[in-house]
A and B are shown apart, each in its own frame.
Chain A
Amino acid sequence: MLNYLLQRLAMLVPTLFFVSILIFGLQQLLPGDPAIALAGEDRDPNVVAFLRAKFHLDEPLPMRYWYWLSGVLHGDLGDSVRIQKPVTELILEKLPVTLQLAAMAIVIALVIGITAGVISAVKKDTGWDYAANVFALWGLSTPNFWLGILLILLFAVQLGWLPASGYVSPFEDLRANLAAMIMPAFVLGNAFAAVLMRHTRSAMLQVLSSDYVRTARAKGLDERVVVLKHALRNALIPVITLGALGLGELLGGAVLTEQVFTIPGFGKLIVDAVFNRDYSVVQGVVLFTATVYIMLNLLADLAYYLVNPRMRH
């Protein structure tokens, strides 16, 4: 077990190294002179020259990578050129927002996904199964930016129940915060719910046909107890670990939802930075979310490993 853990930790370093190269390379290869993009409409030649010097843009690529990497290893992820703020500060500022959004989305996804999955498995091959299936699939089949806009038009403009966009800190006003986050969390959670539904369904089906459950049934236990107490508990383990992984994915991937709902999280930050050629921001934030994702991956595998004796080799 310890061996496995050490092995996995050892693989972390080269993976992160490749992540850094990948994201650095992609940024630097983007067409267009970033100094011109950042210099604004006037493109004053002095300003452009100043920016080129400041960001070592005339130096060869490996050198620029080295400057950045050494900064990272010292905890300095650089500054956003556009608003002159350290990337680390930006990350700390937006982390709670993104975390909250991702967490709410996961909870929604778990609730919808697990419920649909259990219904689907228990009422297998009936109309319920089919309906739950389509309902969950619906989340995967609509572009989430589109769903977001429709929800805004319905709930904010027509009904006036929820705010159209924006973010309020939970410490400032918890009610307003939840009101603002519920729609984007739903949009995000929707897609993931389908995935969780599928996994819950298959895990439940597998457990329901196992000897363990057959014994419980034979003992004459009430069906509902069988399902909820015995089957579900065992089926949930892989599903929960998937949920944890989903958190990692959502940390960096809620790009479009944040754009539409103007949630100041990582997704919006990264996309805007790509179009503004604000390199440091993209590199720093992606490196951060990738690290978190890999860590969560590791934890999930460990959890799997611990709970599932069959996996130990």
Chain B
Amino acid sequence: MKLLIFLALSIAASAHAQTLRIGLAEDPDILDPTLARTFVGRIVFAGLCDKLLDLDEKLNIVPQLATSYEWSGDNKTLTLKLRSGVTFHDGEKFDAAAVKFNLERHKNLQGSNRRGELAPVSSVEVADPSTVRIHLTAPFAPLLAVLTDRAGMMVSPKAAQAAGEKFGSHPVCSGPFRFVERVAQDRIALERYDNYWNKAAIHFQRIVYLPIVDSTVRLANLRSGQLDFIERLAPSDVPALKSDSRFKIDRIVEIGYQGITINTGKSELAQKNPLGRDARVREAFELSLDRDAIVKVAMEGEAQAGNQWVAPNNRYYAKNAPIPKRNVARARELLKQAGVSNPSFTLMTPTTSDAQRVAQVVQAMAKEAGFDVKIQSTEFATSLNLADKGQFEAYVLAWSGRADPDGNLQTFIACKGPLNTSGYCVPEVDEAIEKARTTLDPTQRAKYYEVVAAHVAKDRPIIYLYHRNWLWAHAAKLTGLRTVPDGMVRVQGLQMK
């Protein structure tokens, strides 16, 4: 009998004695949810820090550290009921006071990147140890989605206060794994946290995240067995891996987009170039493009064509502005109407391989309508700078996406949007965006977005092209991956058979 128990225990132990090795496409930045600025950092957080709320595969809000939420009658207060029995990695209790501490830290810490996301939050009230009330200056529909990302991540108040600025080098959260070590540009190692509230869903003892920038090398590591899982498989590698039964590819359309931003009013360059000053020229440009062909050639089919800030299968996609079909004849006609015979403009393109391919395909397609597109390759850091100053005519820009449609829209299209590099400003659009973010009813919001879409489709400050597929590749024996459009690798449920 004892032997059986011993055997059972040791089998159970060995099932947990495994390390999951995940290959990342970049080295994350600071591992402090308040200060973090990169997409890839969020993947590490998925194993390290739990959040108040989470997303499911259909982008619905589901509980994590908060078990339920409720809006007040005037929609200006969000009451969250918190899960009991949750502790941080240092043993401290997770309660409403901790939530208050964290939200205030996100809002007030110097250099915090979460301030903009939590701007409408005016105060946080501790109703009782397991209930917290968030008060807003005005109704703010995206708040729930915001709390499923870094702004909803909870760190241990005690550890944060003790470490101060250096918290990021040794983060203490309440996720399934706790921080062990980090060697810059080499690895981030996490160890299973035995008191995790959902530990039944955790089947690994350790996770090691290994940043490998070169996608060929990252894939080579997977194929040679040194990694169990890689994120952002290159579309060109899909055919080779598909035929290898040792591995499996999972995919889902992202919540972000790839598009071309046109300077329509950011600087005087907008007026100098026909593309920037004449909507007909922009329409002609869009009509010269065949989005399906772009997806097929530049992304090997691993993307979904789109013409709005959300994908066509998103519930907030405005049906009154469908994707236009390619029409070179009409494009030429429009150019004639506009009195422009051979329009030429510079397409600022970051030196990433995706952007470069898209730019070249666009260049070739637009040529048939008479456009002379000059590709200006610019280092990414420089391109951001130039865009903010309005020193561009057109710019190939991707956005990683936010769960709430407002996160893909307001910063770029609203007059005062901080990332509105197009310089677009239409009062009706601003009004609609504002109404959409202060209304909680999805159907009503969708109607406001239709108004926005009607304008944006006509004015074309941004020509949205497609939404990439997140491509994950892993050992076939690894099961339990949830394909969520935010691109995160959720460790709950992952198991090596």
Contact = CB atoms under 8 A, between A and B. Distances in A.
In-complex A–B contact (CB below 8 Å): yes
Interface of A: 31-34, 36-47, 50-51, 54, 80, 82-85, 90, 93-94, 149, 152-153, 156-157, 160, 163-167, 259-262, 264, 268-269, 272, 275-277
23 contacts: A31-B379, A31-B385, A36-B388, A41-B399, A42-B418, A43-B418, A43-B419, A44-B113, A46-B115, A51-B111, A90-B184, A94-B184, A156-B220, A156-B224, A165-B212, A165-B217, A165-B226, A166-B226, A260-B214, A262-B185, A264-B183, A264-B185, A272-B185
Nearest to B185: A264
Nearest to B398: A41
A83 B186 CA distance: 13
A261 B217 contact: yes
Contacts of A157: 220, 223-224
Contacts of A40: 29, 37-38, 113
Contacts of A93: 183-184
Interface string B142-173: 00000000000000000000000110110000
Chain A CB within 10 A, most for which of B115, B116, B214: B214
A251 B482 CA distance: 43
A275 B217 contact: no
A83 B66 CA distance: 30
Nearest to A269: B185
A82 B29 contact: yes
A47 B216 contact: no
Contacts of A46: 112, 115-116
A164 B220 contact: yes
A37 B224 CA distance: 35
B419 to A, nearest CB: 6
B224 A163 contact: yes
Given A47-B111, A83-B30, A164-B224, A269 B217 contact: no
A150 B165 CA distance: 44
B382 interface: yes
Contacts of A269: 184-185
B356 interface: no
B455 to A, nearest CB: 24
B110 interface: yes
Contact of A39 (B37, B115, B211): B37
A148 to B, nearest CB: 9
B115 A44 contact: yes
Contact of B217 (A51, A90, A262): A262
Given A90-B184, A268-B185, A50 B221 contact: no
A38 B379 CA distance: 14
A46 to B, nearest CB: 5
Contact of A275 (B115, B381, B418): B381
B186 A264 contact: yes
A39 B385 CA distance: 11
Highest count of chain B CB atoms <10 Å: which of A38, A47, A262: A262
B214 A259 contact: yes
B418 A41 contact: no
A276 B213 CA distance: 14
B121 to A, nearest CB: 15
Given A32-B382, A36-B381, A275-B381, A83 B113 contact: no
A166 B212 contact: yes
Contacts of B411: 42
Contact of B385 (A32, A42, A167): A32
Nearest to A40: B37
Nearest to A149: B216
Contacts of B166: 84
B184 A277 contact: no
Contact of A84 (B115, B165, B185): B165
B400 interface: yes
A305 to B, nearest CB: 40
B345 interface: no
B197 interface: no
Contacts of B38: 40-41
B414 to A, nearest CB: 14
Instruction: List 4 tightest A-B contacts by C-beta distance, closest first.
Output: A40-B37, A37-B381, A264-B186, A164-B220
B169 A84 contact: yes
Contacts of A260: 214, 217
A216 to B, nearest CB: 52
A113 B210 CA distance: 35
Contacts of B27: 83, 272
